Every structure is written in structure tokens, then in C-alpha cells.
Amino acid sequence: MLTLLGALIALGMLVDEAIVVAENIFRHMEMGKTPREAAIDGSAEMFPAVLTATLTTVFAFLPLLLMSGQMGLFMKVLPVMISVLLLSSLFEAFYFLPLHAKEFFSMGKFQKEQERSAFWDRMIALYDSILKRLLQTKKRSLAILVLFILLATAGMAKITKFQLFPEFDTTQIYINGKVDINSKLEDTEALIVQVEKSLLEKLPKSEAASVTSVIGMMFNPDQSFELGDNLFQIFINLHERAPQNFFDKYINPVFSLEYDGSDMIRLHKAQEIVKEIQKDIVDPLRKKKLSNGTLVFQEINAYVQQTGIVGHDIEIGLVAPDPQKSMSSIVRLKEALKAIDGVHDIGDNAKEGVRELKLRVNEYGQQLGFSEGYITKSLKGTLLKAEYGKMFNDTGLVRIRIEDPEKDRSMQIESVRLTTPNGKQIVRLSDICDFHYEKSFVKIFKEDGERMRSVFARVDSKTILATEVMEKVRPLLKELEEEGVKVVIKGEEKENKQMKKEMSEAALIAIFLIFISLVWMFNSLVLPLIVISTIPLSIVGALAGNYLLGINMTMPGVMGIIGLAGVVVNDGLIML
């Protein structure tokens, strides 16, 4: 995808070089030169300017190779692709184009004067009048322009919000979660059947095409997955979005060779549909309880999977000195996130496993001769399918196993009776053993040798951004650090911070390389500064465009600004 994006960005620049060289060859033809002389002189005259213009664009993208991490891997192909295409275009502009121009201009009679359309006459006249007025008061005009650029850049940068990747409409919604960890696969399926019925009743046929469920597995937002009898994953497959604008309605059906509008009947975005699912189905299920007061669904989330390199919009790691402190810190952080409007699907990876019973033989049991090994052997037939012997019959080997069929319904472990090792007494298990109930974590996550638990959440970018959420919870994170809890920022905030730092460094390197190439061409310091001074104005235009369209600045938008800087420098070279 990025390879094609790089080709599209470079496409306009490739044409620019050919236009400049071809126009200069044509100008030399108007001066009365032969086609061969015009092709040689026109191309040679433009070679320094076009070479410098190409290098400035290459230098604008090349520092992106310095970016590290997942973002660096994601963006590396873009500067390489653009650099290869632009440098290749030099060969075309100064080798093939002059040869073609010489041949074409040699055919027939050359007409020196070309008629210009009335449109261009009016545009040139308008530009001429504006330029004359500005030059009449050039100092004041320059001061106003510089002040406007500074104030506009500061103002637009202040109100512009940044998110790593834009939000895309998709054709699939995910619902996943966990029920009680002691649930069997059949128990989980019975609960999910109810969820499926609710979805099929609530979702209009014009929005949802089908609902698919997988029991025993759950996908995570970071593309990983978990397996377990208590896990589930529901896929809501949506119809294609109905045409929303003039292009989709009238142009795309005509010019797209593989256009098929038969499934384009959905009226709402996937993000809008998932909000309705969240309100009507998921939120009530989160509050649903069993007769004993425990929640039916230990975790249930509904979300739209988005493009990106981070698994969660918000992810905060906590390293505490003891498990109790870790769990209390997680609860406090989750409560703070719940209080923020626009934050959804709050969860953590500190999942407790099944309740475990540990038996320890007490002093009375030891006096009777009981040991852990003897008790384990005795309980096999009661709690498990214990194998006590083997024998042969006419069909072959027969295994003798003992099992209590009522153990899961009526048995109380404390009331189980055991015979003493000497066979003289029968005692209750609770008399000879101490009972210790505890829960352990399903998984242990470690980072740099430390046990780390993470809290994660998803944000609605229309309401709030991940950076704004982090600002709101930062006071709580400082409190936790003062209490001895180590806080590790992950998710989009981590990538944003790293990207902004490396992008700033890349921008400084790019401006330096562009400035050096301009100094090399002009053999001056003033003219390069004049050309570079046009870059901030292009940034103001990009920020203003995002604001007017009501969209946030994203990583692809930043890449577009970088490409725009190269185009602005090229235009400045042509003007000078």
C-alpha cells in the first residue's frame, strides 16, 4: 500500500520536471533555434535547477529512514520508493525528453506564436494587479505576511489534534469476551446463543449481512489471540457502505471496471453501528448477574478493528511490589478511565484463574498417619476417574476405574470421609486437613525481568483523543509512582511521543540538506533562505485544511506535509 502511495506522491513531481524541461525547449524554439539546438540548449539550461529541485524533494523524504521501531518499519518503503522514482525521472527528463522533443519539433512547420486562452489572460491580469499593489508597499506587505504566518502557525498548531492513524469505515464488527473461567465449552455456547439472538433482532437487515461466532477463542486488538473454553469471538459482517458523495454515486460506477453496487446498502458507518450495539446489547450484558451475584460475563467488548501498529489506543503498564498493590492500582486506574467521556472497552490482563484448594495435613492428621500422598491417592476415586487395576477378558485389556457420579452435584469436599492408614478409623477430611482457598493469575506477563500488569482501553476519536486521555489520568499516574508503583506508558501515546521526537529530528535534517543543496545551486545564502521561508506557509495551509474538513492530523497527514514542503521548494526555485 505504501509503495503505491509513494508512486502517487511522486507522480505529480515526475510530471513537473518534464513540464519545466519541455517548456524551456519550446522557448528556445521560439528564439529561432533549430530543433536539435533547442533540445540541447533548453535541457542543459534547466539541468542545475531541475537537479536541485529533485534533490530537495528527495532530501525532504530521505530522513524518514532514520525513524526506528514499528513506525520506522512501516514508513521505510515510502522514502525509498519516492527517491528511486524521482532520481529515475531525471534520466527521462534529460535523455528521452530532449530526443523526443527534437524529433517532434522536426516534423512540419513550427509556429512561434501560440494563442493563449482568455482564462489565462484573466488570471495573469489578476495576479499582475495584486503583485503590483504588494510591491508598492513591499516592507509593510512583508511584515504583515510574516506576522500572519507566525500567528496562523501558532494558532492552528494549538487547535489541531493529532492521532496516529485516521479512523476508517470497515465491513466487520468484533464482539468478544470471557465468561466464568470454570465454564465448559457447552456452557459458553449457551450464553453466546442468547447474544446472537439479540444481535439478529436488533440489527437491521440493511446493515448486517450475517453474524458468525467462534467458541473457545478470542482475538485481541493487538492481533494476538487466546484459547479457552470460557472465551468467545463474534463477527458481525456488514454490507458495503452505500454511496455517500457525488464521486461515489456518479463517477466511480462509470469509470471503475470492477464496480459492483449490489451489496452497497448500508447507511451508517461501522463506528455508528458499534455504538448502538454497545448501548443496547453490550452494556446490559456487562451488568447481568447469576443467582449467586457474580457477573455472567467477566469481560465483553464491542469494537471496530482499525489499521495501525498499536494494539490499544490506551495501554498503561504497572509494576507493583506485591500482587495486592498491583490489583488495587489497576482498579483505581480503571475507575479513572471510566469517568472520562469517550473511553470504552476498559480492561486489563490481570485475569485470575480458577479457585484452587490446597490441603495441608494438620497435626491431628499426622498423628493418625495421614500424609499428602496418601490423601491424594484416596481422593482419586472421589474427585477423578482413578485407575485401580487392569485385567484381561475375551476382548482384550480392561482398565478398572472408580468414579463418583454425584461428585459435581451433591458432594461437599469438607464432608468426604477417609479411612486411616491402619484401617481402624474413618475420619472427615476437614478434621485432618487445613483448607486454603486461593486464586492465581491465568498468565504472567514480564518485561525486563519484572512482573507487569497492563490496563488498556479504546477511545472514540470524535469525542476525545488518546493524548487527551493520558493528560487527564497523568495526576493519578504520578500518585501511583509516589506510592512505589512503576508506570510504563504504552499504546498510542508511546508511539506518538516517539514519532514526534523522530519526526522533529528528521525535519531538521531535511531542512539542512535542502538548504545546503540550494546554497550549492545559487552560490548565495540569501536566496536559499527566501526559498525555505515559504515552507511555513504551506504548513499553515495543511493545518487549516484539516480544521475546515473537521479531521485530525494523522501520521499520513504528516507525510503529506513533508511532500508538500518539497513541492513548495520546487515552486520557489522556478520563481527565482
Q: Tens digit of pLDDT per residue, the chain (576 long)? A: 667 766 766 676 677 778 888 888 888 888 888 888 888 888 888 888 888 888 888 888 888 787 776 677 777 777 888 888 888 888 888 888 888 888 887 776 666 555 667 888 888 889 888 888 888 888 888 888 888 888 888 888 788 777 777 777 888 899 988 888 778 888 899 999 999 999 998 898 889 999 999 999 888 766 677 888 889 999 999 998 888 877 788 888 888 777 788 888 888 888 889 888 988 998 888 888 887 778 888 888 888 876 666 667 788 888 888 878 888 898 899 889 988 988 887 878 777 666 778 888 999 999 899 988 888 888 776 666 656 667 777 777 777 766 666 666 656 777 888 888 888 888 998 888 998 877 767 677 777 778 888 888 888 877 888 888 888 999 999 999 888 889 888 877 777 777 778 888 888 888 888 888 888 888 888 888 888 877 777 788 888 887 887 777 877 777 777 777 777 887 777 777
Question: 136 burial class (0-12, 13-18, 19+ CB within 10 angstroms)?
Answer: exposed
Could you give the CA distance from residue 173 to residue 266 in angstroms, rounded to a whole number? 14
Is 453 in contact with 326 (CB distance < 8 Å)? Answer: yes
Nearest to 298 by CA among 439, 441, 178, 186: 178
DSSP-assigned beta bridge partners for residue 318:
453, 487
Domain ranges of the chain: 1-110, 169-305, 354-441
Cell of 362: 494438620
Question: 553 burial class (0-12, 13-18, 19+ CB within 10 angstroms)?
Answer: buried
Does 169-305 carry CATH code 3.30.70.1430?
Answer: yes
Could you give the CA distance from residue 174 to residue 235 in angstroms, rounded to a whole number? 5
Is 498 in contact with 491 (CB distance < 8 Å)? Answer: no
| CATH number, span 1-110 | 1.20.1640.10
Domain 1-110 and domain 354-441 have a common topology:
no
Nearest to 103 by CA among 24, 34, 19: 34
User: Could you give the angle at the alpha carbon of 402 between the alpha carbons of 401 and 404, nearest 5°?
Assistant: 145
Write 548-554 long-range contacts (CB < 8 A, 24+).
551/166, 552/160, 552/161, 552/162, 552/163, 552/166, 552/461, 552/465, 553/160, 553/161, 553/162, 553/163, 554/162, 554/163, 554/164, 554/165, 554/166
Is 171 in contact with 240 (CB distance < 8 Å)? Answer: yes
pLDDT of 9 reads 67
Could you give the CA distance from residue 365 to residue 433 in angstroms, rounded to a whole number? 7
Could you give the CA distance from residue 561 to residue 24 in angstroms, rounded to a whole number? 29
Could you give the CA distance from residue 219 to residue 228 in angstroms, rounded to a whole number? 12
SS3 438: strand
Cell of 221: 486488538
Give the CA count within 13 Å in the CB-facing half-sphere of 112: 7
Determine which helix (DSSP H) or strand (DSSP E) holds 29, and give its type and residue range.
helix 2-30
What residues contact 357, with CB distance under 8 A and at least 6 apart? Answer: 413, 435, 436, 437
pLDDT of 413 reads 78
CATH class of 354-441: alpha beta
Which residue bears the cell 457502505?
241
pLDDT of 532 reads 82
Cell of 302: 464491542
CA dihedral 436, 441, 442, 446 (to 10 degrees): -150
